[in-house]
Amino acid sequence: MSRKRAYSLTFDIVHQLGVEVVSGKYSKDTAFPTEAELGIEYDVSRSVIREAVKMLTVKGLLSARPRRGTIVTEESEWDLLDQDILQWLLKREVSIPLMIDFTHTRLAIEPQAAFLAATNITDEQRITLINAIKEMEQATIGELSPLETDIAFHLAVLAASNNRFFVLMDSFVETALRFSIRMSNKMKGVKIGSVEEHKIVADAILAGQPEQAKKGMEKMLKEVLQIFNQAD
């Protein structure tokens, strides 16, 4: 087997096993298959399985212990900032407590990002933010995806903060948004978020009004949090 093919197979198996762990097929209360059993199931060498298990262990999903073999860890030990794990979480039934945790995290990041954006935004980022609002408006008449344009707006604000650590959170925030926007809009009985609420934040950023930008973002996210809290 070529190195390239082995590498591809490893990632395929990491994905399949990751989805199965996250979905609950394997848990701390069930025996995780041995390397030999997984090799037979996936028709690959034990070295490929060993590498896949090692990668899942690094992500915090599995733990290898003497005399106990490989076991699935508690969800609290998973690396929830890992993009693979976040994507696998998307494939399982949506958990309201997880939505609440996501929204609390967004509340800790996005209002402050909006605050910073109002003072740090560059000329190029101003254009991106203006276009994000225009595209949200187009989405209201069916010309663009409501979900994608909503996400683009929030990522534009995050980028405009020009805080290097906030910018590094863009993938996490995007995945959290894909969860929460779809779920909160469904619970509200609407297909898209309020363009007007987003425009208030954008206008404050563009006008250099950090407190107004922060308050506008907080208001949107607290409404989302309230929806999830009522459903919990």
For 84-113, the pLDDT digits (tens) are 898 888 777 667 888 888 899 999 999 999
Domain 94-231 classification at class level: mainly alpha
User: Looking at 27-31, 43-47, 49-53, 93-97, which range is the least confident one?
Assistant: 93-97
Q: How many CB atoms lie within 10 A of CB 145?
A: 14
Structural domain boundaries in the chain: 3-77, 94-231
The DSSP letter of residue 192 is S
Tell me the pLDDT tens digit for each residue of 148-181: 999 999 999 999 999 999 998 888 888 888 877 7
pLDDT at residue 230 tops 60: yes
Residue 58, exposed/middle/buried by CB under 10 A (0-12, 13-18, 19+)? Answer: exposed
What mean pLDDT do residues 195-215 have?
Answer: 97
Dihedral pair phi/psi, residue 193, rounded to 5° = -75, 165
CA dist., res. 196 & res. 136, Å (int): 10
CA dist., res. 196 & res. 176, Å (int): 22
Query: Which of 13, 20, 19 is CA-nearest to residue 35?
Result: 13
Residues 3-77, CATH architecture:
Orthogonal Bundle (1.10)
Tell me if residue 226 falls in helix, strand or coil: helix
Q: Calculate the CA dihedral of residues 132, 134, 138, 143 and round it to 10 degrees.
A: -60
Tell how far CA 57 is from the center of its chain.
Answer: 20
